[in-house]
């Protein structure tokens, strides 16, 4: 069975496909943001405040930051499991965890 890639996917350079970015991050263990837990903060978005995981970075976009992130939502939803979205870099924040322990 032959699977073809839709033409719209070729217009965006992925961090895992761009040879310049691969050369830049070859000495590191991973490309920044990939695998990072994030929270959607885009105004009036249907998935605002949902937790997600960054799965890819799309470079050279027509935006102020020139970056978009492909994210996968991590909440449980049996109707659409493993939902993936492409959002601007400024539409998500890195998820941080606070400790419940107190210093003496």
Quick check: is 5 in a domain? no
**Looking at the 3D structure of the chain, how many domains does it have?**
1
Give the pLDDT score at 13: 53
- The secondary element (H helix, E strand) that includes residue 92 is strand 92-94
Instruction: List Cβ neighbours of 39 (8 Å cut-off, separation of 6 or more).
Output: 49, 50, 51, 52, 92, 93, 95
Quick check: is 30 in a domain? yes
Quick check: is 83 in a domain? yes
Beta pairing, strands 37-40 & 84-88: unpaired
Give the model's confidence band at 5: pLDDT under 50 very low, under 70 low, under 90 confident, else very high: very low
Quick check: is 1 in a domain? no
The CA–CA distances, whole Å, from 67 to 70, 71, 89, 90, 103 equal 10, 13, 6, 9, 39
**What pTM was estimated for this model as a whole?**
0.63
Quick check: is 69 in a domain? yes
- CATH code (residue 32): 2.30.30
Task: Residue 36: give the domain boundaries.
Answer: 12-94
Residue identified by tokens 């939803």 is 77
Question: Tens digit of pLDDT for each residue in 50-100?
Answer: 999 999 888 777 777 778 889 999 988 888 888 999 998 889 999 887 666
């Amino acid at each position: 069975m032959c699977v073809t890639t839709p033409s719209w996917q070729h217009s965006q350079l992925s961090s895992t496909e761009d040879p310049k970015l691969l050369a830049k991050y070859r000495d590191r263990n991973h490309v920044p943001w990939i695998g990072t837990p994030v929270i959607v903060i885009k105004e009036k978005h249907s998935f605002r405040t949902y937790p997600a995981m960054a799965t890819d970075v799309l470079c050279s976009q027509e935006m102020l930051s020139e970056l978009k992130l492909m994210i996968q939502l991590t909440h449980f939803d049996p109707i659409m499991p493993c939902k993936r979205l492409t959002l601007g870099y400024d539409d998500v924040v890195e998820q941080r965890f606070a400790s419940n322990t107190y210093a003496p």
